[in-house]
Chains A and B, each alone.
Chain A
Amino acid sequence: MSVGYFKMLEDRLAKLLLVCFLVVQISCAGMYKQELSFDPAEPLRVAVLPFYQLTPSGELLTMRDDVYLIDHIPGVSEKVEESPARFVQGLVETELRQTGFDLMPTVAVESALLHGGFRTKQGINLKKVLEADANTLCRVIGCDAVFYGRISKWERAYYVVQSVSTVGLEVRLVRAADGAAIFSAASEDSDSRGLTKGPTGYTSLVIEPIRGLDSGIITELASKVVKETIKPLETRRSDKAALVAPPVIFASSHDAVSGSLATDGRLVVLAFATPGASAAFSIGSYIRDVPMFETYPGHYIGEFYPVEGDRFEMEPVQISVRDGFGRTAQQTATKLKVSLRPQGTSGAMLSKRGDFEKGKR
């Protein structure tokens, strides 16, 4: 066998190794599993409970003030003065604010738990919180659903030519009314530095695995894991929204031709807009988001009936439509502003109009 033959074999082996290497890279994606069984646009009032970690033996991991799991490796890692549970909880809360949920303030949740019988000398009795059912917790906190989070993995491993950071997260959203888990997810992902990321030389083969222990890498990985985990709950999915045109209001009007409303009268507002949207109108800042009903695709109608004490002067009537991705369009219904004064102060003219639906109760 000639030298040329061995050279050819060497070339083929190198190519085969490269292909295998790329296949391994592609296949080493994170694991994300989610189950969603409700409409994320439902206006649930959600309380995020303190996230937690368990020790290998299944005990709750408690933090002392001087011990941080996102720690400081001198010369490599920037000190992050938070536990992984607290850090990830903050990321989750930021993502949940992109959803349609009414998220309760953190301090309100913690305060309610402390005052509601879930206190120890050190603070919140997390064990008792986790043992209580959602209904009990929401009676104390004042919520419709509770959001649980557990850090199932938070590891940095060093193998000389490779370092691997792994973050695992399990979350559950449980509705108080029936105790049903309406959303659950289990995620795990890793990021590595060293041999598998294509070192360009012997120096980088040694240095990059050490740099891979930087807390910045694992915190960034945590951010990615959280984003992917919470994605099904987002109502403003930009990836899907890009495929659909945003809502538009083509025309709008109201029937207060003189600009005055009677205290025993009504204001009818019409809009012609993108079908299937959620529409509402406001009168200045005094009357907010009176819902409009889609009586025919793209045709929206709403009515304002004054109650005792209502009063406003020269306010614009503003219509807004919103699609399923949270995108909105707004339009002022004509340039004519409206006023509502107590009876006897002005002549009110309202245009007569029949009922907008045929059926009667």
Chain B
Amino acid sequence: MKNQVKSLRLAAMILLFFSACGPRAKLQPEFDGVQVQTLALLPISVPEETRSERRRFLRSAFESELAARGYRLLDESLVLTVCRDSACANRSQLAAAYPISAFVDVKISGIERNNFVLGFYNAIEGSLNASTPTGKVIAEVEFTESKRGGLVFDSGQVIQAIKEQYENYGDWNFNSLASGFAEEIVAQLPSISSAAARTLGSAPVIQNVSVKPRRGMVDEVCVSGTPGLRALLFLNKRMTNLREVSSGKYCGAYRIPPKYAPEKMLIVELRSAFGAAVREVFDVDSIRAGATGLRSRVTESM
């Protein structure tokens, strides 16, 4: 019995030792900084009990790290129209519609928070898989990020141990762990320099904005510009989509109640799937009255 307990303890220590090591990464030759530049980050798979704010933070951390390495990420809202979970059985629809080099799938297999009053041990364990649109896995990275503190682990510094124990009760500790986890995993992927970054089509351009009154105090707002993009209208703190009625012409019809007069200054935006965008602010009343349409003033080199 004593020998069994000893073996178990030894096994646990060995596991703990290895879990504290760096990421384990397997990258295929195809995953280089030239061929793979545009990514679709699928919904991150997390344990069910994880709060939405933490899911959101994890995703933000991965988005930041991937963007910092030079990757262009497909807009999350486009991913969500097809993929509701990390499995995303219909991902081929995204691959058909947009020039995606790889799908990135992040799975968090465990989030541990062990607080035993005189110390704490927190850990996030998970993996990142990248696969081509044809389904070939080109990168697999596994890692466990851990943090420990408190009197048990920091017995040389009493005040520091108490401070760490107190801070462990907040969200900051999780955020710090999540940031470290994302940083370590993404650091295993190649980095893309700005000079090597490919241009993805022409920069979006807005050529004209028109407001045409329809019957019943309804206005039809149309934006003319680069075809094949998403057009958005900012109205009442929301971004609603205009539809492409013909090549490069995007329209939507709305009624704005008079008491929302401040909304007369509206914003339209043309946005590409990878975040290139151009915006224009316009006055509904003056354009409705026949003022000339605005010309594009802002472009973005992508």
Contacts and interface: CB of A to CB of B under 8 A. Distances in A.
Interface stretch (B23-31, B116-124, B253-261): B253-261
Contact of B301 (A116, A199, A236, A310): A116
B179 A106 contact: no
A107 B72 contact: yes
Interface in A81-95: 86, 89-91, 93-94
A115 B301 contact: yes
A interface secondary structure, majority: mixed
B155 A200 contact: yes
B156 A204 contact: yes
Nearest to A124: B194
B175 A227 contact: yes
Interface string B229-255: 000001111111101111000011111
Most buried by B among A107, A123, A356: A107
A357 B258 CA distance: 8
A306 B251 CA distance: 10
Interface stretch (B10-18, B63-71, B96-104, B128-136): B63-71
Interface in A278-293: 278, 280, 285-293
Contacts of B258: 357, 359-361
Interface string B30-64: 00000000000000000000000100110011011
A357 B259 contact: yes
A291 B237 contact: yes
A202 B254 CA distance: 74
A332 interface: no
Interface in B135-182: 155-160, 171-172, 175-176, 179
Contact of B194 (A111, A139, A310): A111
B245 A308 contact: yes
A25 interface: yes
A142 B277 contact: yes
A336 interface: no
A138 B298 contact: yes
B299 A285 contact: no
Nearest to A194: B157
A90 B68 contact: yes
Contacts of B298: 138-139, 142
A198 B159 contact: yes
Given A105-B72, A305-B218, A291 B235 contact: yes
Contact of B68 (A93, A111, A285, A359): A93
Interface residues of A, number: 74
A95 B176 CA distance: 11
A307 B245 contact: yes
B217 interface: yes
Contacts of A41: 237
A207 interface: yes
B73 interface: yes
B287 interface: no
A356 B257 contact: yes
Contacts of B156: 199-201, 203-204, 207-208, 211
A198 B267 CA distance: 57
Interface residues of B, number: 71
Interface in B266-283: 267, 274-279
Contacts of B77: 288
Contact of A291 (B64, B240, B267): B240
B interface secondary structure, majority: mixed
A204 to B, nearest CB: 3
Contact of A220 (B63, B176, B183, B217): B176
A358 B190 CA distance: 61
Nearest to B258: A359
Most buried by A among B56, B77, B260, B275: B275
A348 to B, nearest CB: 16
Given A105-B72, A105-B274, A108-B302, A94 B251 contact: no
B295 to A, nearest CB: 13
Given A110-B194, A139-B297, A94 B61 contact: yes
B279 A193 contact: no
Contacts of B279: 45, 142, 144
B214 interface: yes
B238 A280 contact: yes
Interface in B175-215: 175-176, 179, 183, 192, 194-195, 197, 203, 214
Nearest to A176: B298
Contact of B67 (A107, A201, A204): A107
Most buried by B among A106, A110, A116, A141: A106
A93 B254 contact: no
B160 A293 contact: no
B3 interface: no
B53 to A, nearest CB: 6
Contacts of A91: 179
B81 interface: yes
B238 A291 contact: yes
Interface of A: 25, 41, 43, 45, 86, 89-91, 93-94, 97-98, 102, 104-108, 110-112, 114-116, 123-124, 138-139, 141-142, 144, 193, 196-201, 203-204, 207-208, 211, 220, 223-224, 227, 236, 238, 278, 280, 285-293, 295, 303, 305-310, 355-357, 359-361
14 contacts: A90-B68, A93-B64, A110-B194, A112-B301, A139-B297, A142-B298, A199-B158, A227-B172, A292-B236, A293-B236, A293-B260, A305-B220, A307-B251, A360-B258
Given A45-B277, A138-B298, 20 more contacts: A90-B68, A91-B179, A94-B64, A104-B275, A106-B70, A107-B67, A107-B70, A107-B72, A198-B158, A200-B155, A207-B156, A211-B156, A291-B235, A291-B236, A305-B220, A308-B251, A357-B258, A359-B257, A360-B217, A360-B258
Leading 3 A-B pairs by shortest Cβ distance: A204-B156, A198-B158, A142-B300
